[in-house]
Structure 1
Amino acid sequence: MAPKFKDGDVVLAISGKWVSWTHTAFAYTAFFSALIVGISLHYHKIVENEYYGYPDEWFPSVSATIGDRYPERSFFMIFIAITSGPRFALVGLWYLLTARPNSMLPKFVAIMGVFRSLTCGGWTYVTSTDNHDWHDIFMISYLVATVPWTLGCLALSPNNPQAVKYRKYLAGAFFGTLLPLIYFFIQHKVHKVAGAYTTYAFFEWSLILFDVAFDAVTALDFTTFELIVKDVKGSSKGNSKMVADAVLEKEKGKPIDQVFGQAFSWSEAIDAIADIYNGFAFWSTLTSLGIVVWYFPLWHMGISGYEVFIMTTISPFLLGIRSVRLLVVRNLRLFHFMGLAGLFAYQAHNPVLRLFAVGFGVFMSCLSWAATWYSEASQPVRLESRISAWTIGLVASSVIKFACRTSNPVWAVSHAENGGYNGLGFILAVLAVLRSTRKTPIARNELAIQGQKNERSVLAGLGIGGLFFALHSLLSDSSTMILWVWEGYPIRGPISAPHGALTIFAMAIGLIVGLFQESLARSWTLYGVGCIGAALLTTSSNWRGFYGALILAAYLMAVSIPLISSAAKKSPATSFGFGYLVYNFMALFHVWVVAYAFVPGGPLVRERTDWVMISMMLLIGCGVFAAASPSAVAQRKRVNTYLNGRRQRSYYIYVLGVLQLLAVAIAYLRFPTYDYVPYHKDDKILTAGIWTIHFSLDNDMWSSERRMRDIIKELEIDVIGLLESDLQRIIMGNRDTTQFLAEDLGMYVDYGPGPNKHTWGAALLSKFPIVNSTHHLLPSPVGELAPAIEATLDVYGEMIDVFVFHSGQEEDPEDRRLQSEYLSKLMGATPRPAILLSYLVTNPGEGNYNTYVSETSGMHDIDPADDWDRWCEYILYKGLKRTGYARVSRSTITDTEIQVGKFLVGEKEPEDAAVRNKHISEDQVPEGRRFPQMFRGEGVRGHQYHVFDEPWYYE
């Protein structure tokens, strides 16, 4: 007879723990039945990958086991379908167990549990063979949702020591497995190490074991339930203490209680989102200023006069005038609105008008943000919120750029035609300002303690200048510091994707330290750690240099909180107006070190990035000294009286957490596939090109990477050298066009010498694997540094060397002579076939040309007999059979044409020069060796064969 309870008869009573055990049993059965069947029937097939098979690889990955073959795929799908019922029941019981009045976290964890279960079905039933993109989307969504599910379950665990212990162990094992998993995947995918995928597979299977086992621990908690369902112990009524309750009770009166121990409020959450978007709008406007200013000296080839617009940032100087200060403080909404002119600038097609709009927007944005901090200085809670919004806005800007491959879709150089979302961005900014500024400014008498001369205001301004420069120059793009430490192939350090997510993660960690441990953030100890990070970044390469970059990123975000808080309590004209003036000086300084050949006094700071970094850290040190003053400490004590209002921190941290999850998802989706195929594989044709891209700004001041992608794809170029390609500076927006081109075109990429090597850039994109690459800085005693890339490519199984080179300017003949000798010896030293894609600054047959094309180098001109109309770009080669050559007009993308050559791999060139250089008609050329017909005549979009109006072909 079924047991009876006071509420009625129980027809059937089953302990809730059997939901957990059923889920565990069927989940493990699904995976391991597929593994057993797969090994039994298709062992050699499921251990094989795109590079190796048995015996190099001898254990199958999870995806190969469950998704590629019948019948193991069917075994898996049947049992995983049965698992879904207990899975949803497990999520539901967990919610009933942990739900408490006025608590949002249990609901959030339950939603993540349901979402995680649905996405599990997605990657289970849509395999990579069915649809690779959707399989990846479901898989990354599942992994991302696992993070809040796991952490949420830990936070909500009932006070059951055994269950808590198991959860901690299994969660630690799960997250600890991710690092070696990623490492061995990179060893397999990037370095193509034999056996690495087998090791990766073991870690992948371990993830499955830990993931399922973590959910199995609920069996220890679900003994409190019996299904019908009866709560036989009262745990679901919110009466028993949880681990989180114990922690909060212990921490009562401390910040953690005020942050996470309060009821959720949608109104306050929307306020936080609006504040952060307002911060994002500021950073989007500020980071676009350098690009629109840079356009003018770029096209004038010298100082244009428009450079004065960089001084629009010093508008906070106006806050030194009492009447202006009161006007701005009382009308913050209006001034924030005027700051949005920088986002609306895309409507102006005239470059000069767009520059004026962005400059006006920066002027108003800097003024309004400085006034906002100043006006909130007597209210620490609101001041902290404003600073948090501003700094998280920088994180959001970096995440958006990470998603858009270093371009910001709301910049003034973006519009619909090149991937911009300016209209949407502007509308959201208007709504954000309306929401963010709806609270009236503080009363006039509360300004009494401010606007006065304050000790160390100048020091605070120096600190603000150094801090703002550091944030802008190093953290406004997640790949900037990665490219500082980049040294070429084989890959020995981080790459922009996926490791840009680590930069963003370090920024978030630093911000949390600044919020919760402000005394530590303002300390000299942490300042010393930040200096060590800066030193490592400046002096080291690859992973060691990147570890320094992560330390520095975390420190800069942490110190932002106390430095801005301190500056807000001092004279705003000095702390922020003078601070921005120092920022401008530093921005010019870090440009002068590479632009020394074109600016007055430039040679004095030539190639002194180390001086820039030392100056930056010394300036921040001044800010730390000012923030540690007695008055600042006293103000810090006052903050403790506002702890009851600090629950608002939670909303900013929630948004920060969402940004981290987005960064992880973007990193996964952007991970290089390395499955690139040349355009004419069957014909064994290598099509090579050279193009000077003029920093990816077209003649009308629009970002040009999409137009570049289209022409490179339509010309079917397999290997291309890009010159004037280093955009990782404030004046160029901290961009990297090569990321976009490489991912959209499916090519390997070598960025070339990084931004700390003081060149204008040389990059290499290749459909063929880059086996090895070396970066060279050629002799340049007087003029600008000449960068070169020496790369060995695996082209249809044959090793071919490709050189990408930009020589010095016409004004420096000795530089160019030394460079020609250096490069000639470098090319002559290789016994392999070779191609030079270059910018030489010489006439054919004259001067240094005869050093590049010489017995020393062994190189031949792609067309020495007829093409005399060249000065800058040249293609040279040796050891290959050249079959075609074309010159293609640039349209309005840049100021330089594209030169393209076709080579037949596996055949030697004729020894006789007359035979080698003899032209033949196109009808004598096999179809696979011909250039595209679409560029004949008037061509397309302003691109056509020009100079000799058609491609030339050779015997």
Structure 2
Amino acid sequence: MAPRYKDGDAVVAFNGKWVSYTHTVVAYAAFLSALIVGVALHYHKIVQNEHYGYPDEWFPSVSATIGDRYPERSFFQVFIAMTSGPRFALVFLWYILTARPNSTLPKIVAGVGIFRTLTCGGWTYVTSTDDHDWHDIFMISYLVATLPWTLGCLALSPNNRRAVKYRKIMAGLFFGTLVPLIYYFIQHKVHKVPGAYTKYAFFEWALILFDVGFDAVTALDFEGFELVVRDIKGISRGQSKTTADTVLEKEKGKSVGNTFGEGFFWTEIVDAASDVYNGFVFWTIVTALPVLVWYFPLWHMGISGYEVAIVAVLSPILFAIPGVKYAATKNLRLLHLLSLLGLLAYRFQDPANRLFVTSFALSTTCVAWTTSWFSERGNTPRLETRILAWGIGLIMSSIAKFACRTNNPLWPIVHAENGGWNKIGIALAVFAVLRSQRRSLTSGNDFLPSSGKKGSAILAGVGFGGLFFAMVSLLTDSSTMISWVWDGYPIRGPIAVPHGALTIFAMGAGLIYGTFHPAAAGSWTAFGIGSLGATFLTCFHHWSGFYGALTFAFYIMAVAPVMVTSAVKHSPATTFGIGFFVYVFMLLFHVWVVAYAFVPGGPLVREHTDWVMITTMLCIGAGVFSAAISNSSRTRTRKPISPNSKRVRSYYIYVLAALQLLSVSVAYLRFPTNDYKPYHAEDKVATMGIWTVHFGLDNDMWSSEGRMRQVIEELEIDVIGLLESDNQRIIMGNKDVTQSLAEDLGMYVDFGPGPNKHTWGAALLSKFPIVNSTHHLLPSPVGELAPAIHATLDMYGEMVDVVVFHSGQEEDPEDRRLQSEYLSNLMGSSPRPLVLLSYLVTRPLEGNYNTYVSERSGMKDIDSSDWDRWCEYVLYKNLKRTGYARISRDSITDTEIQVGKFVIGDPAPEDDVRILESDVPVGRRFPALFHGEGVRGHRYHVFDEPRYWL
């Protein structure tokens, strides 16, 4: 027996609460002393930010106070160094307090506590002025670790009601403060609202108070400790129950009660992570094939024949053949390994071969996942984990695209040179298959007997097809639904970054809700709420539409476990065969509504995204009807879930929580800085260009954003219009080519009209702030819709209009005539200087050209002597034009880049006087890099050199 110490045996003794008191006092002193000294010595400097100063901003942020100036930074660093000792002691005592035999969670929480302490030192002593990147890395790591530290402390709290109460209050205030904090940061950074940063600063300081206050509550728990360490209540020896123990006793047998707090085994969480990664690979292959298919009609300008590859998803029909089901069940690991050929497809240079390999991989993975679900139909816990892996895999796929700016890093259109992570992705995939598929499949004893009610196999299949289409079309990228509700500047709704993280959060929350509450998720009430969300998404813009999008995302993920569980009650050949057939039909349907001018029967569904959404929800409703029958008997006879099954379920939730933290980190790292500057501000030059980018796929079927960025940067383009740029559909991979360009080049971006407006897309990227923008759909009674963006830019203090426009196709002359009149009136109505960056489909000096360049529009051709144009044109009015060039596109697309240079603020000359390049000031010249043979296939062509005017 351990020796017992009497009071007289202690040489030095003090109560453990003084560790908490010391930590709290010194930590608050670090921040408050810096604030007091900073306000006293450098008040006007520390309230100044990149947009405003005093009196618009009158309270300093935490970062400006503690990191920018001497001596306040020194006060902070001295006190925060003094905090480290009590901090490590606090973490150590918390571990002693909560450690129990066979429990790993206290060790994890202690490790997180040490990690937070070290990262705190990182962002304290490496300020943003010293090294902005490392300061952000340490800061993000600290904030991300705060969530598991807070939740872990709450889960392990001793049964001290007062301490638990204060701990919950502090945690609630901390996380609740994040919402207004982010809101006012966006108001400051994006909208540049005066005074917003001061409000942001108050919430930032509140976070500090709540964060330190949360740890201060440990004083109430440490009262039971005495140092030299005397445990006077036996808490550390497991004689006192924790809150988690008490809750577990009360919640025994309930669905959520035993999810956490059980033994933690690393091998099982590796299994869960492997399952999820297999799900990620599935969604990677599912979304990759349509992108490859799209390449062929894109270059054939019509039906190519390769479109038939989309029927690869119909492979579960093979289960109708006797013996296939048995063979697939016995060789499930082999099927998953064969499906990894889809990740190896990038090794094939020929586009057709890449398509064929990916088609085979897709058909194989559909069979493999159908087999996984069907084989586990008799084991409810195992089926649940397979569905969780599938759903979390979708979320992981969306996060991967969020992190890689809407490109999946394992797609066959990427490789190491353009952002691919193919090799490491394949290695992880092989490990995941070998790990997760090593267990033998069993059929348990709770399978619904044949005499039970199963519902309709056909309706279950239709429901699964509608669900799968909704997932692929709207949830495989976090920015897709945001692009639906975006409607131009000023910003009045969500933007892709950071609000894509909200979409991902709604998906995760929905999946967890549907797992724990399948009856509620599969109810008609939930279907009605989901349908209402779909309606708002389809019919409204800005925040109203986005709230509908979040509701829709939550519902789709919540109903997924219900629908799959219902579908496996029937023959897989019937339910999943019909389901994937419905998916193929819906895929074509949602492409036909925009591609109506190029496909048979297209005009029948022209511009009817509303029909697509209605059909999707009706299909899901059919599945809900069938599930209500097939799952009813199971619900009545459902056995309590064993503690072991609940523990296994918890590992998938841990993986999901880690992914959600990753998405928040990505949102922070990608948050737009908006500190953009034109290339030649000293000369007040604005270089503007137009480029038809062919949806970001180059001539060899590789993602081309990186190559596009490089040439745009080398040409020093300040404003560029991109046409054929809307990829937010299944067939185009639900991508946004503007995100990587805007972030890498430091440009504002406007894309529109959105994908629910049925155009091929127009986008505007600008180094200058976009003050206002309006999206237009021009008259198109017969052919494809013609999009236009009319934006007002703040160029060196002068308001200049820019219009980006894509005319209709050659086969519809009446459409093009009406569009030319509409645009001519639009340009003529603008009182400001204006530049048109356009795709006109007309020859110079002929036909509709004379409507665009006319007295009514007031526009001039940047070079009326350029006879070799048919599509792209740069027109302008009330500006001084100084240069014009045409640059070859190499293999990036099928269209060149046209660029014009304008001097802002100088009066436009009356005469059209050409001058030599040597007579042009250096700051107004085009880059010399593209003279002669140019670089990487890009060079000045047609004229072999740029043209310049006075």
- Whether these two folds match at TM > 0.5 is yes
1:745-764 alignment runs, 5 A limit: 745-764=745-764
Structure 2 residue matching 1:255: 3-state secondary structure: coil
Going from structure 1 to structure 2, the CA distance change for 1:553 and 1:710 (only over 3 Å counts) comes to same
1:455 positional shift = 4.4
- The alignment's C-alpha RMSD in Å is 1.7
Tell me the distance in 1 between the aligned counterparts of 2:149 and 2:265.
21
Give the 3-state SS of the residue equivalent to 1:751 in structure 2: strand
Map Cα deviations across residues 793-826 of structure 1 (whole Å, 9 max, x no partner). Answer: 1111111111000010011111111111111111
Aligned to 1:236: 236
CA contact (8 A) 1:566 1:632 kept: no
Structure 2 residue 727 is the aligned partner of structure 1 residue 727: yes
What residue number does 1:416 align with?
Answer: 416
CA gap 1:8/1:435 in 2 versus in 1, 3 angstroms? farther
Matched, 1:944 2:939: yes
What CA distance in whole angstroms lies between the structure 2 residues aligned with 1:684 and 1:369?
A: 59
Specify the code of the residue in structure 1 equivalent to 2:397. S
1:636–1:350 distance in 2 versus 1, CA, 3 Å: farther
Letter in 2 for 1:869: D
Corresponding residue number in structure 2 for 1:187: 187
Partner residue of 1:930?
925
Whether the 8 Å CA contact 1:451–1:572 is kept in 2: the answer is no
How many Å separate the matches in 2 of 1:520 and 1:446?
A: 21
User: What is aligned with 1:105?
Assistant: 105
CA deviations on 1:732-791 (whole Å, 9 max, x unpaired) are 000001011000111000012111111000000001111111111111111111100011
What residue in structure 1 maps to residue 671 of structure 2? 671
Contact 1:453/1:571 (CA < 8 Å) preserved in 2?
no
Question: Are the aligned partners of 1:375 and 1:447 in contact in 2 as well (CA < 8 Å)?
Answer: no
Identity over the aligned pairs, expressed in percent? Answer: 70
TM-superposed deviation, 1:634: 2.5
Q: 436-445 or 200-209: which moved more?
A: 436-445
**Structure 1 residue runs without a partner (length 5+):** none
Task: Report what 2:96 is aligned to.
Answer: 96
* 1:69-218 pair list within 5 angstroms: 69-218=69-218
Contact 2:377 2:443 in 1 (8 A): no
SS in 1 for 2:749: strand
Deviation of 1:258 after TM superposition, in Å, equals: 4.0
Contact 1:380–1:639 at 8 Å: present in 2 too? no
Q: Distance in 1 between matches of 2:720 and 2:828?
A: 21
1:813 is aligned to 813
Q: Which residue of 1 aligns with 2:348?
A: 348
Residues 122-161 of structure 1: CA deviation (Å, up to 9, x unaligned): 1111111111111111111111111111121112111111
Distance in 1 of aligned mates of 2:450 and 2:850:
70
Alignment of 1:96-495 (within 5 A): 96-442=96-442, 455-495=455-495
Shift of 1:111: 1.3
C-alpha spacing 1:455/1:879, structure 2 compared with 1 (3 Å): same
Q: Distance in 2 between matches of 1:400 and 1:630?
A: 35
CA distance in 1, matches of 2:791, 2:858: 17
For the Cα contact (< 8 Å) 2:859–2:877, is it kept in 1? yes
Q: Is the 8 A contact 1:450 1:571 kept in 2?
A: no
Q: Hey, what's the Cα distance between the residues in 1 that align with 2:441 and 2:607?
A: 47
Distance 2:589 2:744 in 1: 35
Amino acid at match of 1:908: P
C-alpha distance after superposition, 1:514-541 (max 9, x if no partner): 1111111111111111111111101111
Q: Which residue of 2 aligns with 1:841?
A: 841
Q: Is the 8 A contact 2:507 2:553 kept in 1?
A: yes
Aligned length: 948
SS of 2:728's equivalent in the other structure is coil
Check whether the contact 2:448–2:634 (CA below 8 A) recurs between aligned residues.
no
Change (3 A) 1:679 1:450: farther
- State how far apart, in whole Å, the 2-side matches of 1:256 and 1:863 are: 70
Write the deviation string for residues 841-883 of structure 1: whole angstroms up to 9, x where unpaired: 000111111111111111111101x201000000011111111
Aligned ranges 1:606-645 → 2 under 5 Å: 606-630=606-630, 632-634=632-634, 637-640=637-640, 644-645=644-645
Question: What's the counterpart of residue 497 of structure 2?
Answer: 497
CA, structure 1 residues 545+682, in 2 after alignment: closer, same or farther (shift >3 Å)?
same
Residue range with higher mean Cα deviation, 627-636 or 257-266? 627-636
Residue 919 (str. 1) matches residue 918 (str. 2) = no
Task: Give the whole-Å Cα distance in 2 for the aligned partners of 1:847 and 1:663.
Answer: 52
Deviation at 1:923, TM superposition (A): 0.4
Answer yes or no: is the 8 Å Cα contact 1:881–1:908 preserved in 2.
yes
* Equivalences for residues 445-844 of structure 1 within 5 A: 455-630=455-630, 632-634=632-634, 637-640=637-640, 644-844=644-844
Per the alignment, residue 889 of structure 1 pairs with 888
Helix, strand or coil for the counterpart of 2:886? Answer: strand
Query: What are the Cα deviations for residues 337-391 of structure 1, in whole angstroms up to 9, with x where unaligned?
Result: 1111111100110000000000000010111111111111111111111111111
Q: Distance in 2 between matches of 1:65 and 1:631?
A: 59
Q: What is the deviation of 1:645?
A: 2.2
Q: Is the 8 A contact 1:453 1:570 kept in 2?
A: no
Q: 1:630/1:862 Cα in 2 relative to 1: closer, same or farther (>3 Å)?
A: closer
SS at match of 2:323: helix
C-alpha spacing 1:450/1:710, structure 2 compared with 1 (3 Å): farther
2:885 counterpart SS class: strand
**1:405–1:923 CA distance, 2 compared to 1 (3 A):** same
Q: Which deviates more from structure 2 when the two are superposed, residues 651-660 or residues 127-136?
A: 127-136
SS at match of 1:640: coil
CA distance in 2, matches of 1:363, 1:757: 32
1:640 CA drift (Å): 3.1
Is the 1:46–1:60 Cα contact (8 Å) retained in structure 2?
yes
In the TM superposition, residue 5 of structure 1 has moved relative to its aligned partner by 2.3
Contact kept? 2:413, 2:703, Cα under 8 Å = yes
1:870-909 aligned at under 5 Å gives the runs 870-909=869-908
Q: Distance in 2 between matches of 1:170 and 1:372?
A: 44
Structure 1 residue 615, shift from structure 2 partner: 0.6
Native 8 Å contact 2:120 2:138 kept in 1: yes
Counterpart contact for 2:251–2:258, Cα < 8 Å? no
What displacement does 1:207 show?
0.9
Q: Aligned pair in 2 of structure 1 residues 698, 227: CA closer, same or farther (>3 Å)?
A: same
**1:11 paired residue number:** 11
Q: Secondary structure at the match of 1:804?
A: strand
Q: Is the 8 A contact 2:95 2:107 kept in 1?
A: yes
Cα displacement (A) at 1:257: 4.2
Look up the equivalent residue of 1:180 and give its one-letter code: P
**4+ residue stretches of structure 1 with deviation over 6 A?**
443-453
1: CA distance between counterparts of 2:286 and 2:716? 37
Letter in 2 for 1:899: Q
Larger CA deviation: 514-523 vs 439-448: 439-448
SS of 1:138 mapped into structure 2: helix
* 8 Å CA contact retained: 2:454, 2:630: no
Contact 2:342 2:357 in 1 (8 A): yes
SS of the residue corresponding to residue 640 of structure 2 reads helix
